[in-house]
A and B are shown apart, each in its own frame.
Chain A
């Protein structure tokens, strides 16, 4: 099964090179993390174009913040996703909590009601996943999006969201339980 988890090749060397101003290293970091961050935003804001904008904002902030980044603190990916989380928080602050959901209406409810195992075989579309995630509490949505759509480890999620691993585990468990109600008929 091909999961979305990506190899964490954004090791210190690439980051250090980017900090030195190596444009190629910066581009590599961009390539490495763009999709995961986009998926996170896609799951959180629903709006495709907004997710793109917020993803761009993350990399702009990354560029601005790179000189201050120290590898002995947060792992780079957790640092990057913490920026992403902050971008999201700022977005909501600016929007005063308004949310723009732009999920496609081509969703087939019948597929949602299928047996989980068979659904796995069919593979969910992103739209299905996002629709399901949108039914969750924001904190649960954060955790599930980061864990399973963006491919972060438990620890990375905890660092990105500034939570304890235990808290992330609990949110993950509750989120998965709630998600089941949406996708799987009880």
Chain B
């Protein structure tokens, strides 16, 4: 057959070179004669052009866009939800944006406690990771705006978001997953992009779902998964008084509020436990099922009120409202990502200790060694509380994965590609695997080098496996998180699945692009892993099989991948439906028996890493000066005899995590800045500074924690200027006021700092700025329009008007 193919090809080449057909046919076997004739027929078909006008118009448009140096409309990247330049961590989408924002703090008392745990400040440059965020404000969405609820995947990023046609209407943009609107008669309807909603309606998102409400004045509210809001009042005028009043019943939302110069404007988010009012602000609202409410502010300020107590939460701060209580004093926010070192009530992530509470949201069941994103608060007593912990990827170290042919199947061990792999009752083995099948095995490496398989599954060269939310079910196709998967009689479907359920779908991508499901089964909500093989149609953003992928700085991406290459992608689908890639590898069908793992070097001659003996040869690439004990990544091939031949061994200088927090500058001296807690930071060459560092500047400090625990500052960003002069840190030599048992402040328009020392305080004056340090007894505010900051008190009573309390 191949000889005949070659012969035909040779004659085709001659034909194409201009030789007459008959000459090319000479000497050909009869079967090939007809094939060559057919080829000649096809080559000679009379041509027909498309409509010339259309060609010319398309050409003009292409050239015009090239001149404008921008892609055509259908190629426009997803519209960013906000135009804010605020940098974010690598996974803002993972944590629904706003809450994930960077930490700033203008609360003096907060500063005293907030930096207490950070005695590791160093001006050195980060060595490996760049915590400067990527994918700023751009949600990774595998579907285009305007898609129907049938949810067919499209490879083209989203089009321009629709605007609300009038102030009394909001447009629903970029719906992802299951998004429903409740009409006034109580019925819920699944919505499409561009659906308009008005006051009186409710919007609900399901698991792995999200949607953006765009108001007429340009303000936006972005709902995360499992969220519900009602529109109480809506008159989003671009000029004049703007009114947007929402009630968030549950879930998460991010708000980007357009600035309004009209004093009568209001943008408020009510919750079952309190209300937040904002103007020209970026903030995040979280409402748990137990009605715990948290407001996080990224820009500007939000007044949060409950039980007639109002606290002002400024950029970088958060406040909590427990149902039936007044808002807690704002504290500063800390967020980042890192390796989990301890779990339980007290977690240790990225070298930082966090306490969890009953309402801490933990997604993905992270374990020690895994990599997570976190957000939390630094309390006044220095304790750090985690409000959300999201698994980003499972541990890399001492885990393995390779593809090979099954040589033998035993009760407790299999031999795959010549390598013995132990299995036990927790090993997930796809049914039907036989000797000779090509499989992918993943698992952990024991200290003695034993390979314990966590899963063994057949390799599919055009396969997929992902977790998504069911949007639509028909007898022929399902829509799952915007992917249309075909089902047929061979598809195994767990009984009882309904729209809104979270499922894992696996199958194959057929030649014509159809995703054929082989199994569909329910999995716990909250996202899960995915993997697929497909063609990369875009690298920025990454689009594979029409799915837009988010990447992180730790995403492993093979070098040299180009548009059109076939790749294998593994990652996790996050709570809001974002597909976050852990690995994007060139897919080499001709050399599938490869391995890659991360471990510590046990010995170098001979090479043993993570307990596994490795063969090396002259072609093995050793990257970096490697010593015993170093953490390395090994990549190579499994030889027929089961030997692991290392092709590359690379030392990993990986950080334990990176995070950010905010503070206020107390003083600046040459190349040093003094933070409010008294710590001094030397600005070395490696530290990037954005903005002017001066006294009272509010700054965000980004940094990473090295393996030895050292915190390395990478970037300092000035985000604002504090309105109040920084309160001096009390010194031991400072004489405290006489301990008379109580302070009675009757003055007006004063700026006072008092150390309570257990005394009670009564404020009768008006318009004061008062900072109460130390432990106070009862604090009673009878005057009006005071700003009072309280570090600690046995009780706080406010009977005045317009008082702002930032208290214990």
Is B47 an interface position by the 8 A CB rule? Answer: yes
- How far is A179 from B72 in the complex, measured between Cα atoms in Å? 38
Residue pair A1, B15 in contact (C-beta under 8 Å) = yes
A154 with B62, Cβ < 8 A, contacts A68-B539, A83-B537 known = no
Residue pair B5, A23 in contact (C-beta under 8 Å) = no
Residue pair B47, A184 in contact (C-beta under 8 Å) = no
A6-56 interface (Cβ within 8 A of B): 18, 21-24, 26-27, 30-31, 34-35, 38, 48, 51-52, 55-56
- How far is A104 from B16 in the complex, measured between Cα atoms in Å? 29
> Please, which residues of chain A bring their CB within 8 A of the CB of B35?
173, 176-177, 180
The interface size of chain A toward B, counting residues with CB under 8 Å, comes to 77
Is B26 an interface position by the 8 A CB rule? Answer: no
Chain A window 108-152, contacts with chain B (Cβ cutoff 8 Å), 1 for yes, 0 for no? 000000001101100111101100000000110000100111010
Whose C-beta in chain A lies nearest to the C-beta of B147?
Answer: A94
Residue pair B72, A23 in contact (C-beta under 8 Å) = no
> Please, which residues of chain A bring their CB within 8 A of the CB of B9?
154, 169
> Please, which residues of chain B bring their CB within 8 A of the CB of A5?
16, 43
Do most interface residues of chain B lie in helix, strand or loop, or is the interface mixed? mixed
> Please, which residues of chain B bring their CB within 8 A of the CB of A179?
38, 42
Is A100 an interface position by the 8 A CB rule? Answer: no
Residue pair B47, A1 in contact (C-beta under 8 Å) = no
**Shortest beta-carbon distance from B397 to chain A in Å:** 33
> Please, which residues of chain A bring their CB within 8 A of the CB of B476?
96
Query: Which among A89, A91, A123 is the interface contact of B44 at CB below 8 angstroms?
Result: A123
Do most interface residues of chain A lie in helix, strand or loop, or is the interface mixed? helix
Whose C-beta in chain B lies nearest to the C-beta of A26?
Answer: B66
- How far is A183 from B74 in the complex, measured between Cα atoms in Å? 40
Query: Which among B31, B41, B513 is the interface contact of A90 at CB below 8 angstroms?
Result: B513
Residue pair A166, B58 in contact (C-beta under 8 Å) = no
Whose C-beta in chain B lies nearest to the C-beta of A60?
Answer: B72
**Shortest beta-carbon distance from B568 to chain A in Å:** 13
> Please, which residues of chain B bring their CB within 8 A of the CB of A69?
562-563
Chain B window 1-30, contacts with chain A (Cβ cutoff 8 Å), 1 for yes, 0 for no? 110111011000001101011000000000
Is B59 an interface position by the 8 A CB rule? Answer: yes
> Please, which residues of chain B bring their CB within 8 A of the CB of A34?
50, 55, 58-59
A52 with B51, Cβ < 8 A, contacts A90-B546, A154-B9 known = yes
- How far is A52 from B153 in the complex, measured between Cα atoms in Å? 21
- How far is A5 from B18 in the complex, measured between Cα atoms in Å? 11
Residue pair A139, B511 in contact (C-beta under 8 Å) = yes
Whose C-beta in chain B lies nearest to the C-beta of A4?
Answer: B43
Is B343 an interface position by the 8 A CB rule? Answer: no
Query: Which among A30, A92, A128 is the interface contact of B513 at CB below 8 angstroms?
Result: A92
Residue pair A97, B512 in contact (C-beta under 8 Å) = yes
Residue pair B153, A94 in contact (C-beta under 8 Å) = yes
Interface positions of A (Cβ within 8 A of B): 1-5, 18, 21-24, 26-27, 30-31, 34-35, 38, 48, 51-52, 55-57, 59-61, 63-65, 68-70, 73-74, 79, 82-83, 86, 88-94, 96-97, 116-117, 119-120, 123-126, 128-129, 138-139, 144, 147-149, 151, 154, 162, 166, 169-170, 172-173, 176-177, 179-180, 183-184
Question: 5 smallest A-B Cβ distances: which pairs?
Answer: A89-B513, A148-B42, A116-B37, A82-B564, A176-B35
Given contacts A56-B58, A69-B563, A88-B513, 9 further A-B pairs with CB under 8 A are A3-B16, A24-B63, A73-B560, A116-B37, A138-B512, A169-B9, A172-B5, A177-B34, A183-B41
